[in-house]
Structures are given as structure tokens and as C-alpha cells.
């Protein structure tokens, strides 16, 4: 059962990493359209940054890192004693 959880976590990380790496503009669009309005906009200190190209670059970097973690998890799973 522990192995299933480990593999499921690795698969979820891999999916998140791939989405962040290949479709960061879609994530940015989704976040900006579902942000809310009025009071909730004032609560989000990152809203102005989320509208910049730097946010897309950060999502791509995050995608590379999370995909690397997932691949490392799969490697550890296959090479453990």
C-alpha cells in the first residue's frame, strides 16, 4: 500500500510539472480569470506580478523542478533495495 501512495504522489507531481512546463500561459489565464473581483483582489498581494511575463517564466521553472522531483521519485522507487 505504501508503494501505491509513493507512485501516486510521483504521478501527480509529474502531471503538475508537465502542465506548468508546457502550458504556463493557460495557467496564467485561468488564475487571472478566476481571481475574483473587488475585495478579493485587494487580498492578493501577488496579483500584479501574476500579470507579468516573469510569472510565466516562474511557472516554467517550477515545472522543470517538479518534473525532476517526480523523475527522481520514480528512479528511487525502481532502484531501492
Q: What secondary structure does DSSP assign to 4-69, as a single string? A: HHHHHHHHHHHHHHHHHHH-HHHHHHHHHHTS--THHHHH-TTHHHHTSHHHHHHHHHHHHHHHHH
Q: State the cell numbers at 41.
A: 483582489
| Residue-level pLDDT at 2 | 79
pLDDT tens sequence across 3-47? 898 899 999 999 999 999 999 999 999 988 887 777 777 787 888
Give CA torsion, residues 61, 66, 69, 73, to 10 deg. Answer: -160
What cell numbers appear for 46 in the block?
A: 501577488
Amino acid at each position: 500500500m505504501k508503494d501505491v501512495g509513493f507512485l501516486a504522489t510521483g504521478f501527480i507531481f509529474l502531471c503538475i510539472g508537465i502542465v506548468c512546463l508546457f502550458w504556463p500561459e493557460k495557467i496564467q489565464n485561468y488564475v487571472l480569470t478566476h481571481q475574483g473581483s473587488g475585495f478579493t483582489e485587494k487580498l492578493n498581494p501577488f496579483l500584479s506580478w501574476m500579470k507579468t511575463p516573469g510569472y510565466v517564466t516562474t511557472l516554467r521553472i517550477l515545472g522543470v523542478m517538479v518534473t525532476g522531483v517526480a523523475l527522481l521519485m520514480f528512479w528511487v522507487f525502481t532502484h531501492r533495495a
